[in-house]
Chains A and B, each alone.
Chain A
Amino acid sequence: MNLFEAKLNANCIIKAVEVEDEKTKIRLMELGLIVGTRLVVKYKSIMKKTLIIFFNSSCFTLKDNLAKKIVVNYA
């Protein structure tokens, strides 16, 4: 299941980060979004294109084009 399909408020564990743009992928990982990270998907925007996710005591926004490439498992 990709991150965008994850249910709101559910605890997920990142299984794989597969972003086409290598630079963005590296940046996501440098922010701590690496395989095995536990995260919570909390909010979806009005057009459901942007997410707010919580991980490692921080919260970030992520767009669907990135989130779809992040494969997650429920914790």
Chain B
Amino acid sequence: MHKVLILGNPNVGKSTLFNSLTKSNEHTGNFHGVTVEEKHKILKYNNQEFDIVDLPGMYSLNSFSYEEEVAKNELLSLNATRVMLADANSLRKNLYLCLQLDELNLDYILLINNHDYFLKHKNKLNINKLKEFNCCEIINAKKIKLENFLKILKNNKKTSKKSKNNNYLLQFIKKIKDKYNLSEEKIIKALNGINDNLTDEQHSFIKSFLPEVIKARYDYIDCILQDVLFINNDFVYGASKADKFLLKPTVMTIGFLITFLLSIYLIFFLIGPWLSDALNVIFQFVIVNPFMNFLYLITDNVWLIQFFSSGVFSSVGTILSFLPQVCLLFIFLTMLEDSGIISRMSYVFDDFLSIFGLNGKAIYIMLLGFGCNTMSTMVARNMSDKNMKIKTALLNPYISCMARLPVLVIIASAFFGAKSYFVITGLYLLGITVALILGGILNKTILKTKSNELLLEFAPIRPLDFKHIWQVGKVNAFDMLKRIFVIVLSVGVIVWCLTHTMFNLSYTENMSESILFVLADKFSFIFAPIGLGSAGIICALIVGVMAKELIVSTFSITNNVTSNTALIASLTSATSVISFTLPSAVSFLIFSLLYCPCASNLAVLKKETTKFYMWFAVISQFTIAYLLSFVVYQSMTRGLSIGILISIVIFMIMFSLILIAKKIKSKKISCLFCKKNCK
């Protein structure tokens, strides 16, 4: 199998090229550090197999972050064709990595992307002159076809072994050789961040030459580019005329808030519900009704009829109607990502986020979290500071993801009607506020940020590519359909079986006798103080740990409804198996928003941090969700003064716990319990 590695600086279009070649739909975005893991796809062409690999972006072989280390390790593999994708607009910086590959004698083919944008700004590139130094071609990563790409590789492979000029390194190699008897290969490797059995002393001596070596490399690049690159004096890649306006903190903050509120209104209250209702009608008339009519004709078996009506269609139907809203949410996030505005937001909110021990990059991770917390937890790894990475991963699950969307919409619509817009917006903001406060506490106690520098390259402002946005919407629709018909349906069927089967394995229509309800009832003493002591609600919360969509599907199964309109009506009716009062509904909204990350997010949390932090996330989220729900429920049922009193007691307990955590961190715990002034 032939391995083809796509490498290059961040945000030059590597994932776009990968998608064009492999017809994949990997996540792309106009921001640095979108790809954090290598992606493989095996293709067959003319009876030959190709393993196309998309590597995370890297500026240099001296890796600065986790994803650069991943890319470096992969590109050093010997049996591969390396394709270095460079952006014509920042060629000088891109050639730095090329030079490092040359020094290590690694063959590669240089492909230059984004040439149209480069020409549009009155810059010129003499590609023929550049070919004297490197085998290179100009391509369009969005439009290139596999056939043409392989042709370019074939044509350039013959010429890729050009004599590499490393003369600018000779003076440094000589100086190092004068002190240590090391081979030239070892020295060059060390200058490129590869420690090949060197002692610490040798390594630090070689590294002390790096500033001079970097300068020599850039001098050499400038020498090459002298007759190759003609840049318009006013041109700065990434800068935009709109920046004068966009980078004003007040403009950006107000603009972001308006966009956020408007998008919630459009997604959940204007376009979304209309599309949801349409989909629901289609589902009822095209699938549910014909199938159920057919079933009534052929059988009168109650078990079978109940299984399909409340087991299969109830679990799938209500979630399916949220498909348009989820797609619209992803489309909105893609529009933000593609426009180049996120790097501006990172800059504007960097100061504010540094109060909580985060940096501007956390904005991108939080925005991704509105889509899927699991994905955004993975992206948190591109934070350069270890504590900041853990903190960002821990705070992510507080951001309301698309899986929690059906829960919020259903309960809010049932109890607040036209005012549900304010409730949903408030819940989104509550999640963000809790995340920031916890971030601040963690920053002052166990996860203090050591360095929160923000070294971020600005992405250019680009016009929206509606083809790409449509593609993202389509991909997410298919992803959600897959989730609905694999996870929601299978777990829904299990839940239905457990809510209709007694311990002696016989069928029951009285759910309070069923296995799941009897088991859930044992936990009612925990949830009763927050108004959620009913066995059905506890079942939904337990099942929701697997995936948050399952909360709504469990509601539908237990209340035996197949549409969200019927579910909304059933939740306010006292005769339903699961029903709420206003205080318990508010308590449930807060609790389900915050109580636990889903199973896949927990797995990623464990992988990206440690087992300790995974359990920390579970316990801290449950505690925070419980306490907030407790305060709200007690205030609404017993009066505001009782609620305030409880809040003060909880605040004092929390404050003491923070102090203890701080003491533990500074190893002064013994001093807490003695009166001596022993430092």
Contacts and interface: CB of A to CB of B under 8 A. Distances in A.
A63 B214 contact: no
Given A52-B347, A52-B458, A34 B218 contact: yes
Interface in B49-81: 59-60, 62, 64
Interface string B210-236: 110011001000000000000100011
Interface string B572-600: 00000000000000000000000000000
A35 interface: yes
Contacts of A26: 62, 210-211, 214
B59 A56 contact: no
Contacts of B89: 57
Given A24-B453, A50-B350, A58-B236, A30 B231 contact: no
A63 B214 CA distance: 23
Contacts of A47: 351-352
A12 B76 CA distance: 38
Interface in A46-63: 46-47, 49-50, 52, 54, 56-63
B254 interface: no
B247 A52 contact: yes
A6 interface: no
Given A28-B455, A52-B458, A54-B236, A61 B210 contact: no
Interface in A25-74: 25-32, 34-35, 42-43, 45-47, 49-50, 52, 54, 56-63, 65-66
Given A54-B236, A59-B457, A27 B64 contact: yes
B196 interface: no
Contact of A43 (B92, B243, B346, B451): B243
B613 interface: no
Contacts of B198: none
A27 B89 CA distance: 20
Contacts, number: 116
A46 B249 contact: yes
Nearest to B65: A27
Interface string B22-62: 00000000000000000000000000000000000001101
Interface string B197-215: 0000000000100110011
B182 interface: no
B90 interface: yes
A50 B399 CA distance: 26
Contacts of B243: 42-43, 52
Interface of A: 17, 21-32, 34-35, 42-43, 45-47, 49-50, 52, 54, 56-63, 65-66
The 10 A-B pairs of least Cβ separation, nearest first, read: A47-B351, A46-B249, A30-B60, A59-B458, A29-B214, A59-B238, A61-B456, A63-B453, A50-B350, A54-B236
10 contacts: A27-B62, A31-B457, A34-B218, A42-B243, A45-B249, A45-B351, A57-B237, A58-B236, A58-B457, A61-B350
